[in-house]
C-alpha cells in the first residue's frame, strides 16, 4: 500500500472485476460532490470567518486570521530600480537581484542563487541561521560585485508570522522542518539586520518582509494592474487580497487599502465545515476542505494534499487494471505502455474497461469532456479523469472563498488557461491557482506524465475553479493570471512598490504642502480679514478697500412678533421666483410659503430694462391670480443677488449685471425704482416695495427668525459671502451712531489687493487666470463651489505631468475645463464610499485610474476642501471676534445662519470650518444654523421686520 488511505478501499485479494465495490466508490464520490447551494453556503461561512478575522474583538477566536501585511499598494508598472530579495521558506533558500526598469516596456531582469541550508542549521540557533543568511547574501553581493551599493531588499519569509510593520514580522511558529531556537516570538527582520551589522562588510536596506502569497499577488500585479488577489494552491494553499483599510480593525487608519494575508488554510479548524467533511475522509483526517485548508499539514505532508483521497479511490479501479505495484510505475508505463505490452494487455483490458465504464459513469454522471473513447486502450486518462472528479470538491471549495473576496465587480481575469505545468512543478509555491503541481505530484503516483496529460488535468482543475467562481459570482469579471516566481520576484516587487510610493508620496506632499495652512497662517488670515473689514467700513479707506462692507439698512433681526402676508421676489439665483410668505405670531408662530418659478427668456435677460421689469411684474400678476389674490396690495421684499450699492433699505443701485443678465438701462439705476415703474405701467395692482436685500442677509434673517442669537449670515455655494450686525458707530458710510446695521461684507473680494498672495498657490493663479473675472474675488476662488473642482483638476494635471498620478498619462478629459465639478469632491470624500466607487466616479469622468490613483485624487480633494473650509473659518473668526470686541465682551455667544450647497452637502466642510472658528476665536461660542430658502423667506422676513418697525400694516394683520 502506497498510502494508508488505500487500505480503506482495498479489494480482497483474488477479487475480480465482477466484485468491484462500486458502492464504496459511489459513496465516497457522492459525499464529495458539492451542490451549488452547498458552495454558496460555504461561501457565506467563509465571508463570516473573514469578518471575524478582521474584527478586533473577534480576531482572537477566528480561525481564518486575516493578517495585515502592511502592503498598501500593488504595482502600477512605473516601478524602477535595482532590488535584492531573499526567499526563505520555499523549496530552496535563494538570494535574488531584481532589476525593474520603467522604460515603458516594464522589463524585469533577475539573477538568483540557491544556497543550501544545512540540516543542523535548520535546527540550530536562530543567530546561526541568520548569520548564515547574511553570509549567503554577502557571497551573492560579492559575486555580482555590488557589495558597496546599499540596495533595498525584500524578504520573502514564508512562515506563519504576525506582522506589525512592512519591515517587521514576528515569527509565530516554525514550520517546514525549521526549528531554530530563539526565533519564535521575535522580529525576523531585526535578527537579519543584526547578523548583517555584525559582519560589517556590507549594508542593505531591508524594506519589506512578505509571505509568498503576497509575493504572488505583487508579481502578477506588475503585469496586470488589476491584480488584487493572490492565491497559492501548491503544496499548501493560502490567499491574500487588497482589503479596504476601514474594514481592518487591527490596523489604525481608514484610508486606502492593505493586503491581507488570509491564512485561509485554517478555515474549518473551528468545525464550521464539519457538515461537509465526508465520513471516510474525516476518519483519514482529511476532507476535501481540510486537505486544502490545512497548509501546515499539506506542506509537511505532501501526501495529504488535495489529492490525498485520490489514490484511495483510484486504487480499486487501478488494481483491477494492474497489480497494485503498477500504480507506482513510471507514468509512461501506464499511459504509453510499449505496444508489445499493450497489445496483450488490451485483451485483458477490454473486459476491465467495460467494468470501468459503469464506474466512471458513477464518477461522472454528467457528460464529461475528458472521457476519451480510447479509454479502453488507455486506462490512464480514466484515472486522470477520476482524479479530476475528486479534485472537483477541492477546486469548488476554493471558489466560495474566492467569491467572497470579490463581492463587488472585480478584475481577476482568468488567463487563457494555458498552463505551464512544468514550471509549476519547478516552482510549486509560486503558482497562482496552479493546481498542476498538486495534481501531478507524487501523491498521485504519476510522477512524470506526458505534458499533454498534465495540461489536461491542470486545465480541468483550473476550468472547474474558474467555472465555479463564475457561477457563484455571475456579476464579476475575474481573470486568473499565472505568477512566475512570485516568492522571489514578489518580495522585490513589494520593495520596488514601496520605493516608488515613498518617492512619489514625498513629491506629492511637497506640492500639497503649499495648500496646507498652519494655525499661524490661519491666524494671520483672520487678522488680515479684520484689517480689510476696518478699511471697508472707514469713510476714508472705503473707496480702495477690497472688502466693501456694504451697509444694507437692515437694522434689526426678527423678534418673533412679526406677522402678516408678504410677497417676495428672488432674482439672481438659479431661478426667478415669486413667493407669498405668511408670517404668523403668537401661538401659531411660523412661516408658510407658496412660490412659483418663472423662466426669464434670454431675449428678455438681454433686452431692455423695461422689458425685463415688465416681465417680472407680469409674473407677479400671474402669481397673484394663481393664488387667488389678484389686485391685493402687499408689502414686498426683493432679493436681488447682483452687486448693489444701497443708500436705504428700499433702494439698491445696480453696479454691474452678472450671471448672463445684460438688460440695458439698468446699471447705475435703482432697481426698486425700475420695479415700481413697471408696476405703475401695468396699472393692475399696487405693491409696497419695502426692502431690497441680498441672499446673505436673507439667510441671516431666516435663521434669526428661529434663533435670536443669529446675527451673522454666511453663504458657501457657487460663490461665498457673509454679513453681520455691525455697530452703527463703526459704519462710517451711514450717519447715526445708535443701534446696529447689517453689513453685507462682499468678502469674496478679500485678497483682491494682493493681501493673500503669499498663500495663493500656482493652482489658484491658474484657476483665476482662466476665470471670467481674473484678479477679482480671490478669496471666493479659494473657497466656493464654482472653483474648488477646478483647483483639484489643476493639481491633478500637475501631478500627472510629474508622473505622480495616472501613470503620467494626461488624458484629454483631464485637460477639459469644468469636468471636475465641486459635487465630485463631496462624492469622493464621502465616508461611506469604498475606493472602488471613487475609482468608478473617476472612470465615469473619463479618467482611467488605478485604486492608488483614487487614493491620491481623494487626498487632493481633501486638501483643497479642507483649505477652503479653514479659510472660510478664518474669515468667520474675524467676524465673530469683531462682534465680541464691538460689544466689549470677554465671551460672545452667537449664531451664524448658513446657506449654500457646498456647506450643506460636502461631508467635511462644515466640521472643518467649525473647528477652525473654534480654534481661532476661543472667546466665542459659535452655533451654526442651516438656513432653508434664505433668499425667498429672508426677503419676506426683512420686509416683515421693516413693517413691524415702521408699523406698516399688512392686510391680514393681527394674530392669526
Residue numbers annotated as active site: 577, 641, 695
Q: Of the listed pieces 333-341, 441-449, 819-827, 913-921, which binds ligand ADP according to CB under 6 A?
A: 819-827
Q: Which residues pair with 205 in a beta bridge?
A: 152
* Distance between CA atoms of residues 761 and 515, nearest Å: 7
Binding-site size for ligand ADP (CB under 6 A) equals: 14
Instruction: Cell numbers for 790, please give them.
Output: 477646478
Q: Of the listed pieces 309-317, 438-446, 587-595, 902-910, which binds ligand ADP according to CB under 6 A?
A: 902-910
Instruction: Scan residues 307-336 and list those touching ligand ADP (CB under 6 A).
Output: none
Instruction: Cell numbers for 10, please give them.
Output: 482495498
**Residue 743 or 788 having the CB closest to ligand ADP:** 788
Q: Of 419, 482, 480, 415, which Cα lies nearest the Cα of 455?
A: 419
Count of other CB atoms within 10 angstroms of residue 635: 24
**Residue 633 or 930 having the CB closest to ligand ADP:** 930
826 part of the interface to ligand ADP, by CB under 6 A: yes
| Nearest-CB residue for ligand ADP | 717
639 part of the interface to ligand ADP, by CB under 6 A: no
Torsion of CA 25, 28, 33, 38, to 10 degrees: 160
Q: Which of 823, 932, 952, 956 binds ligand ADP (CB under 6 A)?
A: 823
* Distance between CA atoms of residues 403 and 555, nearest Å: 66
Instruction: Cell numbers for 236, please give them.
Output: 499548501
**Residue 114 or 770 having the CB closest to ligand ADP:** 770
39 part of the interface to ligand ADP, by CB under 6 A: no
* Cβ(608)–Cβ(664) below 8 Å: yes
720 part of the interface to ligand ADP, by CB under 6 A: no
**Residue 726 or 780 having the CB closest to ligand ADP:** 780
Instruction: Cell numbers for 713, please give them.
Output: 449670515
* Distance between CA atoms of residues 187 and 46, nearest Å: 30
* Cβ(235)–Cβ(421) below 8 Å: no
785 part of the interface to ligand ADP, by CB under 6 A: yes
Instruction: Cell numbers for 271, please give them.
Output: 468545525
**Residue 17 or 573 having the CB closest to ligand ADP:** 573
Only one residue has cell 485610474, namely 849
**Residue 234 or 717 having the CB closest to ligand ADP:** 717
Task: Give the chain's end-to-end CA distance (angstroms, integer).
Answer: 101
830 part of the interface to ligand ADP, by CB under 6 A: no
Q: Of the listed pieces 18-26, 288-296, 335-343, 820-828, which binds ligand ADP according to CB under 6 A?
A: 820-828
901 part of the interface to ligand ADP, by CB under 6 A: yes
Q: Of the listed pieces 78-86, 721-729, 805-813, 898-906, which binds ligand ADP according to CB under 6 A?
A: 898-906
How far apart are CB 903 and ligand ADP at their closest, in Å? 8
How far apart are CB 574 and ligand ADP at their closest, in Å? 6
300-303, long-range: CB within 8 Å, 24+ apart, which pairs? 300/175, 300/176, 300/177, 302/235, 302/441, 302/442, 302/443, 303/3, 303/442, 303/443
How far apart are CB 569 and ligand ADP at their closest, in Å? 15
* Distance between CA atoms of residues 440 and 234, nearest Å: 11
| Alpha-carbon distances of 747 from 722, 723, 740, 743, 778, rounded to whole Å | 6, 9, 19, 11, 10
**Residue 882 or 906 having the CB closest to ligand ADP:** 906
How far apart are CB 647 and ligand ADP at their closest, in Å? 26
Beta-carbon contacts of residue 11 (< 8 Å; ≥ 6 apart): 19, 20, 21, 316, 319, 320
99 part of the interface to ligand ADP, by CB under 6 A: no
* Distance between CA atoms of residues 801 and 812, nearest Å: 13
467 part of the interface to ligand ADP, by CB under 6 A: no
696 part of the interface to ligand ADP, by CB under 6 A: no
Q: Which residues pair with 646 in a beta bridge?
A: 652
Instruction: Scan residues 518-577 and list those touching ligand ADP (CB under 6 A).
Output: 573-574
| DSSP, res 514 | T
How far apart are CB 157 and ligand ADP at their closest, in Å? 47
Pairing of strands 257-261, 67-68: antiparallel
> What are φ and ψ of residue 581, in 5° steps?
-120, 120
**Residue 219 or 826 having the CB closest to ligand ADP:** 826
How far apart are CB 861 and ligand ADP at their closest, in Å? 11
Instruction: Cell numbers for 69, please give them.
Output: 501585511
**Residue 131 or 695 having the CB closest to ligand ADP:** 695
* Cβ(745)–Cβ(549) below 8 Å: yes
595 part of the interface to ligand ADP, by CB under 6 A: no
* Distance between CA atoms of residues 371 and 720, nearest Å: 75
912 part of the interface to ligand ADP, by CB under 6 A: no
Q: Of the listed pieces 1-9, 205-213, 465-473, 897-905, which binds ligand ADP according to CB under 6 A?
A: 897-905
How far apart are CB 788 and ligand ADP at their closest, in Å? 7
Q: Of the listed pieces 514-522, 765-773, 775-783, 900-908, which binds ligand ADP according to CB under 6 A?
A: 900-908
How far apart are CB 826 and ligand ADP at their closest, in Å? 3
**Residue 331 or 900 having the CB closest to ligand ADP:** 900
822 part of the interface to ligand ADP, by CB under 6 A: yes
Q: Which of 9, 209, 672, 786 binds ligand ADP (CB under 6 A)?
A: 786
Q: Of the listed pieces 319-327, 597-605, 725-733, 899-907, which binds ligand ADP according to CB under 6 A?
A: 899-907
Burial 703-742 (b: 16+ CB within 10 A, else e): bbbbbebbbbbbbbbbbbbbbbbbbbebbbbbeeeeebbb
698 part of the interface to ligand ADP, by CB under 6 A: no
* Distance between CA atoms of residues 960 and 956, nearest Å: 8
Q: Which of 236, 393, 609, 900 binds ligand ADP (CB under 6 A)?
A: 900
Q: Which of 172, 627, 797, 905 binds ligand ADP (CB under 6 A)?
A: 905
Q: Of 190, 206, 79, which Cα lies nearest the Cα of 150?
A: 206
Q: Which of 38, 101, 521, 718 binds ligand ADP (CB under 6 A)?
A: 718
| Alpha-carbon distances of 775 from 756, 781, 791, rounded to whole Å | 12, 10, 15
How far apart are CB 819 and ligand ADP at their closest, in Å? 13
717 part of the interface to ligand ADP, by CB under 6 A: yes
How far apart are CB 785 and ligand ADP at their closest, in Å? 3
Report the interface residues with ligand ADP, using CB under 6 A.
573-574, 717-718, 785-786, 822-823, 826, 900-902, 905-906
Amino acid at each position: 500500500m502506497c498510502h494508508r488511505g488505500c487500505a480503506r478501499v482495498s479489494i480482497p485479494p483474488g477479487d475480480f472485476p465482477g466484485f468491484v465495490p462500486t458502492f464504496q466508490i459511489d459513496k465516497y464520490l457522492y459525499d464529495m460532490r458539492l451542490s451549488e447551494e452547498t458552495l454558496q453556503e460555504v461561501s457565506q461561512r467563509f465571508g463570516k470567518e473573514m469578518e471575524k478575522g478582521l474584527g478586533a474583538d473577534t480576531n482572537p477566536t477566528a480561525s481564518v486570521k486575516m493578517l495585515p501585511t502592511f502592503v498598501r499598494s500593488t504595482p502600477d508598472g512605473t516601478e524602477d530600480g535595482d532590488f535584492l530579495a531573499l526567499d526563505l521558506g520555499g523549496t530552496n533558500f535563494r538570494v535574488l537581484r531584481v532589476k525593474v526598469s520603467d522604460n515603458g516596456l516594464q522589463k524585469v531582469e533577475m539573477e538568483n542563487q540557491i544556497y543550501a541550508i544545512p540540516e543542523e542549521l535548520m535546527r540550530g540557533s536562530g543567530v546561526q541561521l541568520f548569520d548564515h543568511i547574511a553570509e549567503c547574501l554577502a557571497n551573492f553581493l560579492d559575486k555580482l560585485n555590488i557589495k558597496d551599493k546599499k540596495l533595498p531588499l525584500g524578504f520573502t519569509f514564508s512562515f506563519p508570522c504576525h506582522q506589525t510593520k512592512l519591515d517587521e514580522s514576528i515569527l509565530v511558529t516554525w514550520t517546514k522542518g525549521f526549528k531554530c531556537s530563539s526565533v519564535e516570538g521575535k522580529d525576523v527582520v531585526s535578527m537579519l539586520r543584526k547578523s548583517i551589522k555584525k559582519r560589517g562588510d556590507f549594508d542593505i536596506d531591508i524594506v519589506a518582509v512578505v509571505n509568498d502569497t503576497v509575493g504572488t499577488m505583487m508579481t502578477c500585479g506588475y503585469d496586470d494592474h488589476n491584480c488584487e488577489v493572490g492565491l497559492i494552491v501548491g503544496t499548501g494553499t493560502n490567499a491574500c487580497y487588497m482589503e479596504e483599510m476601514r474594514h481592518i480593525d487591527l490596523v489604525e487608519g481608514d484610508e486606502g487599502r492593505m493586503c491581507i494575508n488570509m491564512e485561509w488554510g485554517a478555515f474549518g479548524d473551528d468545525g464550521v465545515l464539519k457538515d461537509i467533511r465526508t465520513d471516510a475522509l474525516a476518519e483519514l483526517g482529511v476532507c476535501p476542505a481540510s486537505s486544502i485548508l490545512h497548509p501546515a499539514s499539506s506542506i509537511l505532508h505532501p501526501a495529504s494534499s488535495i489529492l490525498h483521497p485520490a489514490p484511495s479511490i483510484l486504487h480499486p479501479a487501478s488494481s483491477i487494471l494492474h497489480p497494485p505495484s503498477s500504480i507506482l510505475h513510471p507514468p509512461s508505463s501506464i499511459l504509453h505502455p510499449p505496444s508489445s505490452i499493450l497489445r496483450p494487455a488490451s485483451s485483458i483490458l477490454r473486459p476491465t474497461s467495460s467494468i470501468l465504464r459503469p464506474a466512471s459513469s458513477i464518477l461522472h454522471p454528467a457528460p464529461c469532456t475528458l472521457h476519451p473513447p480510447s479509454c479502453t486502450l488507455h486506462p490512464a486518462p480514466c484515472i486522470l479523469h477520476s482524479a479530476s472528479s475528486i479534485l472537483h470538491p477541492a477546486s469548488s471549495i476554493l471558489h466560495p472563498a474566492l467569491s467572497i473576496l470579490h463581492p463587488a465587480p472585480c478584475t481577476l481575469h482568468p488567463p487563457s488557461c494555458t498552463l505551464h505545468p512544468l514550471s509549476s512543478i519547478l516552482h510549486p509555491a509560486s503558482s497562482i491557482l496552479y493546481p498542476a503541481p498538486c495534481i501531478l505530484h507524487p501523491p498521485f503516483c504519476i510522477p512524470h506524465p506526458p505534458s499533454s496529460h498534465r495540461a489536461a488535468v491542470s486545465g480541468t482543475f483550473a476550468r472547474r475553479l474558474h467555472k465555479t467562481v463564475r457561477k457563484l459570482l455571475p456579476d464579476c469579471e475575474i481573470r486568473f493570471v499565472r505568477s512566475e516566481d512570485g516568492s522571489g520576484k514578489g518580495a522585490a516587487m513589494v520593495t520596488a512598490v514601496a520605493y516608488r510610493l515613498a518617492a512619489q508620496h514625498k513629491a506629492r506632499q511637497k506640492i500639497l504642502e503649499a495648500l496646507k495652512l498652519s494655525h499661524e497662517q490661519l491666524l494671520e488670515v483672520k487678522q488680515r480679514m479684520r484689517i480689510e473689514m476696518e478699511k471697508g467700513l472707514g469713510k476714508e479707506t472705503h473707496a480702495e478697500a477690497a472688502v466693501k462692507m456694504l451697509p444694507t439698512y437692515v437694522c434689526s433681526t426678527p423678534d418673533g412678533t412679526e406677522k402678516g402676508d408678504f410677497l417676495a421676489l428672488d432674482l439672481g439665483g438659479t431661478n426667478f421666483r415669486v413667493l407669498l410668505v405668511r408670517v404668523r405670531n403668537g401661538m401659531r408662530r411660523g412661516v408658510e410659503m407658496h412660490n412659483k418659478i418663472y423662466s426669464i427668456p434670454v431675449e428678455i435677460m438681454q433686452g431692455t430694462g423695461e422689458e425685463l421689469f415688465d416681465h417680472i411684474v407680469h409674473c407677479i400678476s400671474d402669481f397673484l391670480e394663481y393664488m387667488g389674490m389678484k389686485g391685493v396690495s402687499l408689502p414686498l421684499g426683493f432679493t436681488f443677488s447682483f452687486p448693489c450699492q444701497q443708500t436705504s433699505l428700499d433702494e439698491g443701485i445696480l453696479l454691474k449685471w452678472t450671471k448672463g443678465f445684460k438688460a440695458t438701462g439698468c446699471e447705475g439705476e435703482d432697481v426698486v425704482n425700475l420695479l415700481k415703474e413697471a408696476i405703475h405701467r401695468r396699472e393692475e395692482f399696487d405693491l409696497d416695495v419695502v426692502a431690497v436685500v441680498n441672499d446673505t442677509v436673507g439667510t441671516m434673517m431666516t435663521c434669526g427668525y428661529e434663533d435670536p442669537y443669529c446675527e451673522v449670515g454666511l453663504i458657501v455655494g457657487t460663490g461665498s459671502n457673509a454679513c453681520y450686525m455691525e455697530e452703527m458707530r463703526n459704519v462710517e458710510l451711514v450717519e447715526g451712531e445708535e443701534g446696529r446695521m447689517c453689513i453685507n461684507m462682499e468678502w469674496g473680494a478679500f485678497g483682491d489687493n494682493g493681501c493673500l498672495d503669499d498663500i495663493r498657490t500656482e493652482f489658484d493663479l491658474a484657476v483665476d487666470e482662466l476665470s471670467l473675472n481674473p484678479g477679482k474675488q480671490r478669496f471666493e476662488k479659494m473657497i466656493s463651489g464654482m472653483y474648488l473642482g477646478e483647483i483639484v483638476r489643476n493639481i491633478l494635471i500637475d501631478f500627472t505631468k510629474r508622473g505622480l498620478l495616472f501613470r503620467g498619462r494626461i488624458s484629454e478629459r483631464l485637460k477639459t475645463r469644468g469636468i471636475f465639478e465641486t459635487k465630485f469632491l463631496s462624492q469622493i470624500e464621502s465616508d461611506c464610499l469604498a475606493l472602488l466607487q471613487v475609482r468608478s466616479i473617476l472612470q465615469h469622468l473619463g479618467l482611467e485610474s488605478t485604486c492608488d490613483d483614487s487614493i491620491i485624487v481623494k487626498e487632493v480633494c481633501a486638501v483643497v476642501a479642507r483649505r477652503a473650509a479653514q479659510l472660510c473659518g478664518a474669515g468667520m473668526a474675524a467676524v465673530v471676534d469683531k462682534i465680541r470686541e464691538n460689544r466689549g465682551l470677554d465671551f460672545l455667544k452667537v449664531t451664524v445662519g448658513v446657506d449654500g450647497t457646498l456647506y450643506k452637502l460636502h461631508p467635511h466642510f462644515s466640521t472643518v470650518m467649525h473647528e477652525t472658528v473654534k480654534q481661532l476665536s476661543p472667546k466665542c461660542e459659535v452655533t451654526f444654523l442651516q438656513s432653508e430658502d434664505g433668499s425667498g423667506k429672508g426677503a419676506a422676513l426683512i420686509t416683515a421686520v421693516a413693517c413691524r418697525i415702521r408699523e406698516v400694516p399688512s392686510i391680514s394683520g393681527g394674530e392669526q
